[in-house]
Amino acid sequence: MEHNGFYALDQKPNHNHEDRGGKAFATIVIVIVLVLLALLVVGLFWPGLLGGTVPEYALIEVTPTPEPGAEATAPPAQQEQPTEAPAATMAPSVADADRAMPNLDGIAPSLPGFADNPIPDIYEAVSPGVVGVLNYVEAQSAKGRTIYTIYGSGTGFVVSSAGYILTNAHVVEGATKITIKIFGEDQEWDAVLIGSDSETDIAVLKVEGTQLQPLKLGNSDLVRVGEYVLAIGNPLSTEQLANTITFGIISATMREVTIENYTNTYLQTDAAINFGNSGGPLINLNGEVIGINSAKTITAGYDEMGNAVSAEGIGFALPINQARRIMEVLITKGYVERPGIGVTVSTVDADVAEAREIPVGALVESVVKDRPAALAGVLAGDIITEANGEPILTHQQLVNIVLSRMIGDELKIKVYRDGAYLDITIVIGNKTDMDFDNVIGATPTPLPEATPTPKP
């Protein structure tokens, strides 16, 4: 409760004849307050008795899933008032015209000589092309109406004046509705998801009805360790810290990192990357995009007591050349096809094989339901010892063999199961269509240390 005015701390007590009137007045005030409190309690717990209704903003709580491991991913849901949806609708379908590859017409900014600091000029030229990306999901109000509430947010950047925006797949994952915010504007613009690829963590959006400034895409193959770079994005939220710029160097150019069981090659940088920076551009001193800021390591390991040791200055960006190839497939086709059989595997090496009296090979840890391996009869716990006549000594061998084949090809494997060997033929399918969370059975890895599990 707010009070106008103030109470004096040195106020002296009244005399006795004034006390009686004061006490009577205080009694009346207390009775009134008690009555008002009773009415308030009734109104809160039984609003219908007072003709009231449950407020529209009383939502079913939607809690964002924490990002895995080292990922600088979608931040916690922002505390913003949800917008009511006229009806529960899915994301708009993509028109055939949007499957034509647009002109990537970003232009590198004109910069002064390096005698002066070029970073302010780069920021002024590039920042208008960096946008906030908002991920909305459906929820139910207390009245049972469908509303949209923010699940998380991230960053994106414009790659074509035709309205195409590049961001991370995890930024828009699970979204019922996607919007973008242009720096300096209050309005949100609806975006259509043109395509998304979880394996490389790349998504393409398209926005119509507003003029967008595209950024120039550079050549990440030419990036060298030690080069200065800039990261622009929306750490923590799209409101308070929108279009924050940080500065650093390239720490490594071909760093293999596994996130969510997907291994990709990244540019490593010490430019500060935080939650919400995901999907934003990593920019060189020519004002060109050389990467997409995607992840960070927050722990360097664990001490002898098992406590996490924090890490600083270890961020990762997908090289723009790799992202561009995936982007073109997503725009023109809508999805990326990859050969797969629908299993997760780990290596049974010689030491484990000898200790457990089993053969060396690729241990099947899980099998995706109703997909090629399951349909062919592969079970969790099988050890694949041979594929197309080639002995399998590591799980990576099996992964490489599958990736080298085409969708529709046959893969002949030999598996060890319960002391016997079986020959099985699998017809390779499209890995993109496989849900690796929907599996039949699972068996723990026999390896002594926890390692990422590939998904061929």
Residues marked active site are found at: 170, 201, 278
Q: Can you say whether residue 62 is alpha, beta or left, with left for phi > 0 and alpha for psi between -120 and 50 degrees?
A: beta
Distance CA 212, CA 163 (A): 6
The burial of 23, by beta-carbon neighbours within 10 Å (0-12 exposed, 13-18 middle, 19 or more buried), is given as exposed
**Distance between CA atoms of 248 and 252, rounded to whole angstroms?**
12
Give the torsion through C-alpha atoms of 232, 236, 241, 243, to 10 deg: 20
Counting other chains too, the contacts that 403-407 makes at CB distance below 8 Å and 24 or more residues apart are 403/338, 403/339, 403/456, 405/339, 406/339, 407/337, 407/339
Contacts of residue 450, defined as CB under 8 A and 6 or more positions apart, other chains included, come to none
Q: Are the beta carbons of 349 and 420 closer than 8 angstroms? A: no
212 within 8 A of 191, measured Cβ to Cβ: no
Pair 424, 376: CB distance under 8 Å: yes
Q: How many whole angstroms separate alpha carbon 76 and alpha carbon 64?
A: 6
Record the tokens describing residue 234, joined without a space: 């929306």
